């Protein structure tokens, strides 16, 4: 996924709702409780971590019990420090005080709360890219420095791999043909980073790499769930036992075809917000439905050009909801004018937007009936609504609208099956189409005729289209 690749628009929940979600995530809520618990007697080590002697009291404050209580308390404290909820006052003495960000959790705006949560998320993501603690201890060499080569671990590569997996999960969640709110199998996510797209049957070596990646991701998603980024169903422990001791008989009958045994992950609404923020920070174009609602009609028509159909309609409905129908129609029609390369697609999106407007917009459409660029789509809109006294279009307007429509479809879909069908239908229904079409004074006439020659399966008709394109270019040149 490159930073120039357009990402599908994501549908975000309201910030107030997301802020409430952030405050109730296990990790941030624990971090906030520890920040309020900390006082003059609280002590931290040189790295800012809570000293071992105070971990039991911290765990008790959080209501944690069991063998992992101290570990979980320590993790929550590190998040409190990294997110600015706690500030180290004196490193030598190990004293702390409440951080400036703590007050934002109760007195700040939703955006302030989400800013604190994003800081917590970054800290967790950094932790998720670090090897297991036991492996780190084993890799400590002379001078208390970690020998990364003995770990077979590259910090930058590990972080890049996790970012790539999360990017693919974001893409799957936002895509209209993706799983949406349904969980994604962990093997599919691992394979998306490892298996080449042009590979037919994966080799044993590739499958082994996918399996290793799944195990790494299982550990990482277990860490990412408490911060609210994902909902995660871990890899089945029985499966892990099968991998570690394949010679032993399984303890119970298990279904090897049940994909959920291998881990299932779903990006939460809060996770969508967080990953989009990170993508924007990294320079990606990551649109969100609704962000064009306060912009002009030109921004709406251009901005939705790369949107999939349902997202484009949702964006347009929000835009229309903030305007009176008649004023909105006039603004859309004005923005649809133009002879630049993007104008046909703007007019197509204008027509689609106007289909969502009621009869109150009729005066705006009648005002452009004599407009060379807009008269055709105005007649279509009025006729579809059964309006009276709609003048018949001239032959010149019919051909101009046809060229404009095909140019828009070319810009929107390229050489799609639907466009091929449209091209074949035009040539079949109008015997002298090409003889008349090359004379049309539309900036895209020659390009459209060339495309028709490329797309039409009949060689004779394709040749007629190319000849017509040549005539159109000659006429334009003269």
For residue 189, the model assigns a pLDDT of: 93
- The larger pLDDT score, comparing residue 358 to residue 1, is at 358
Mapped to the 3 state alphabet, what secondary structure does 199-235 carry? CCCCCHHHHHHHHHHHHHHHHHHHHHHHHCCEEEECC
Q: Residue 153: is its pLDDT beyond 70? A: no
For residue 150, the model assigns a pLDDT of: 57
Average pLDDT over residues 24-43: 96
Average pLDDT over residues 160-179: 92
| Residue 151 binned pLDDT confidence (cut-offs 50, 70, 90) | low
Distance CA 304, CA 259 (A): 37
| Residue 206 binned pLDDT confidence (cut-offs 50, 70, 90) | confident
For residue 81, the model assigns a pLDDT of: 96
Distance CA 336, CA 346 (A): 5
Average pLDDT over residues 223-245: 83
Average pLDDT over residues 55-62: 96
Lowest mean pLDDT, pick from 46-60, 151-165, 265-279: 151-165
For residue 140, the model assigns a pLDDT of: 56
Q: Residue 279: is its pLDDT beyond 90? A: yes
Count other C-beta atoms under 10 Å from residue 180's C-beta: 12
Q: Which of 43, 119, 58 is nearest to 84 (CA)?
A: 119
C-alpha distances in angstroms, 212 versus 47, 116, 136, 189, 218? 32, 33, 19, 12, 10
Question: What pairs with residue 88 in β-bridges?
Answer: 96
Average pLDDT over residues 122-139: 74
| Residue 4 binned pLDDT confidence (cut-offs 50, 70, 90) | low
C-alpha distances in angstroms, 335 versus 402, 407, 410? 20, 18, 20
Q: Which two tokens stand for residue 64?
A: 């944690």
Distance CA 445, CA 402 (A): 10
The predicted-structure confidence for 97-129, as pLDDT tens digits, reads as follows 999 999 999 999 999 999 999 999 999 999 998
Residues of the chain above pLDDT 70, percent: 90
For residue 259, the model assigns a pLDDT of: 79
The predicted-structure confidence for 300-322, as pLDDT tens digits, reads as follows 999 998 898 899 999 999 999 99
Distance CA 112, CA 116 (A): 7
Average pLDDT over residues 374-390: 95
Q: Residue 244: is its pLDDT beyond 80? A: no
The predicted-structure confidence for 383-422, as pLDDT tens digits, reads as follows 999 999 999 999 999 999 999 999 998 888 776 778 888 8
Q: Residue 364: is its pLDDT beyond 90? A: yes
Q: Residue 461: is its pLDDT beyond 70? A: yes
C-alpha distances in angstroms, 78 versus 30, 74, 88? 11, 6, 12
Q: Evaluate whether 59 touches 8 at the Cβ level (below 8 Å).
A: no
For residue 152, the model assigns a pLDDT of: 63
For residue 360, the model assigns a pLDDT of: 95
């Amino acid at each position: 996924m490159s930073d120039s690749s357009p990402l599908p628009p994501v549908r975000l929940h309201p910030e107030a709702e997301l802020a409430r979600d952030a405050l109730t995530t296990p990790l941030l809520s624990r971090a906030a409780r520890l920040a309020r618990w900390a006082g003059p007697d609280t002590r931290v080590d040189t790295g800012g971590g809570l000293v071992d002697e105070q971990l039991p009291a911290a765990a008790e404050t959080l209501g944690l019990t069991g063998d992992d209580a101290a570990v979980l308390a320590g993790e929550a404290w590190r998040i409190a420090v990294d997110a600015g909820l706690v500030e180290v006052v004196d490193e030598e003495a190990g004293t702390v005080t409440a951080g400036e960000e703590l007050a934002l959790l109760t007195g700040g705006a939703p955006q302030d709360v989400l800013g604190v949560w994003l800081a917590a998320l970054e800290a967790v993501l950094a932790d998720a890219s670090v090897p297991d603690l036991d492996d780190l201890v084993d890799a400590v060499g002379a001078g208390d420095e970690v020998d990364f080569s003995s770990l077979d671990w590259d910090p930058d590569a590990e972080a890049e791999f996790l970012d790539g997996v999360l990017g693919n999960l974001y893409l799957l969640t936002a895509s209209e043909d993706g799983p949406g709110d349904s969980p994604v199998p962990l093997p599919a996510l691992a394979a998306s980073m490892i298996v080449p797209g042009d590979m037919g049957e994966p080799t044993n070596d590739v499958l082994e790499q996918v399996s290793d990646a799944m195990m790494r991701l299982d550990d990482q998603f277990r860490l990412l769930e408490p911060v609210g980024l994902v909902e995660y169903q871990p890899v089945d422990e029985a499966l892990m036992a099968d991998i570690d001791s394949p010679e032993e008989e399984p303890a119970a009958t298990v279904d090897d075809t049940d994909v959920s045994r291998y881990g299932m992950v779903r990006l939460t609404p809060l996770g969508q917000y967080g990953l989009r923020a990170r993508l924007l920070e990294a320079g990606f174009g990551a649109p969100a439905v609704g962000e064009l609602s306060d912009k002009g009609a030109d921004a709406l028509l251009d901005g939705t050009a790369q949107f999939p159909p349902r997202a484009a309609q949702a964006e347009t409905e929000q835009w229309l909801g903030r305007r009176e129908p008649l004023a909105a129609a006039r603004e859309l029609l004005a923005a649809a004018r133009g002879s630049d390369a993007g104008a046909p697609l703007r007019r197509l999106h204008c027509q689609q937007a106007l289909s969502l407007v009621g009869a109150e917009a009729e005066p705006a459409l009648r005002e452009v009936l004599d407009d060379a660029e807009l008269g055709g789509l105005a007649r279509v809109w009025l006729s579809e609504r059964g309006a009276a006294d709609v003048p018949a279009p001239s032959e010149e307007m019919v051909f101009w609208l046809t060229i404009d429509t095909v140019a828009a479809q070319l810009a929107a879909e390229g050489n799609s099956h639907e466009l091929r069908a449209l091209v074949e239908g035009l040539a079949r229904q109008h015997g002298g189409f090409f003889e008349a079409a090359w004379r049309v004074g539309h900036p895209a006439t020659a390009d459209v005729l060339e495309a028709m020659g490329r797309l039409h399966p009949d060689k004779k008709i394709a040749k007629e289209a190319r000849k017509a394109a040549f005539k159109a270019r000659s006429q334009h040149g003269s």
